[in-house]
Structure 1
Amino acid sequence: MDKPLYIDKRLSVPPHAIETTAIRASGPGGQSVNKTNSAVQLRCDLNSFHIPETYRRRIARFRDGRITEEGVIVIKAQNHRSQARNLEDAIRRLQSLLRKAIHVDPVRIKTRASYSSQQRAVKKSKRRSEIKGLRGKVKDW
């Protein structure tokens, strides 16, 4: 990787912070599984480059088993048969993880129901009450 990985406008991961290693994939694969290093382990050290403090706090609070206590993100990609595709997958997953970790939902603005919608709800409720009231036993006069 020779160019920075852009997460958003304020955060990009420089190439020196990302370390990739080719490892053997687990699972089925026949005879070649024991001799090819097609899986990729990606390690991103969040302490080796500048991150805005608000982002650093959000990432630290983000509960994910791939982020260690020391601030290193470890991702293992082994879904594809080729090492190049596994590397692309690992980088895409790192990008996705960081975007999810720094995302903040916008503050919800409370709204009131309109007067007419309240009246419709009351009318509907009264109608349902009448219908259910008619389901009782019939009285003999």
Structure 2
Amino acid sequence: MIAISSGIEIAEQELEWQFIRASGAGGQHVNKVSTAAQLIFDIRASSLPAFYKNRLLARADHRITPSGKIIIKCQQSRSQEFNRQQALLQFIELVQAAGVVAKKRYATKPSYGSQQKRLDSKKKRGSTKQLRQTKADS
């Protein structure tokens, strides 16, 4: 079981792993070992709560496909185990971020001081405008 956050766990069987050769520049002496780890997770078929599923499916992220799968590829190191751990960390962070709900902000009444400041600046702008107008008229 992989703990995502308090009370939410995912079974190891829900994660599909593929180890592929890292893409990128190479030459004659390229290491032919499959080092890049690719994690595939089906959101719709998972045991996640409906709230997390809906938030993940609605999220705009390049790692989430339109068919509802999360695909995370990690090729930071030549070690398969390290790349696997990094992909798993990225997956956990993605699911945790989907569970965070933005704080609702309520409209507040402006303070007396800010209202006075606003009125003063309005009066000042009005008086300078009048001065310009009288100078232009004369």
In structure 2, relative to structure 1, the CA distance for the partners of 1:47 and 1:133 (3 Å cut) is same
What count of residue pairs does the alignment treat as equivalent? 138
Scaled by the length of structure 1, what TM-score is found? Answer: 0.77
What residue ranges of structure 2 are gaps of 5+ in the alignment? none
- Alpha-carbon distance in structure 2 between the residues aligned to 1:52 and 1:36: 38
Matched residue of 2:135: which SS? coil
Runs of 5+ consecutive residues of structure 1 not aligned to the other structure: none
Match of 1:108 in 2: 105
Q: 1:32 to 1:84 in 2, by over 3 A?
A: farther
- In 1, Cα distance between the equivalents of 2:137 and 2:124? 25
**Residue in 1 that maps onto 2:64:** 67
Inter-CA distance 10–129: structure 2 relative to 1 (3 Å threshold): farther
Identical aligned residues as a percent: 36
Distance apart, 1:78 and its partner CA = 1.6
Q: 1:119 aligns with which of 99, 116, 120?
A: 116
- 1:6 corresponds, among 3, 14, 29, to 3
Quick one: structure 1 residues 109 and 19, their matched pair in 2 at CA, closer, same or farther if it must change by over 3 Å?
Answer: same
- 2:78 aligned with 1:81: yes
CA offset digits 1:72-113 (Å, max 9, x no partner)? 321111233332332222111111211222322122122111
- Normalised by the length of structure 2, the TM-score is 0.78
CA distance in 2, matches of 1:104, 1:22: 34
Q: Please provide the CA RMSD for this pair.
A: 2.7
Cα 1:136–1:55 change in 2 (3 A) is same
**Alignment CA distance shift 1:99-1:130 (3 Å):** same
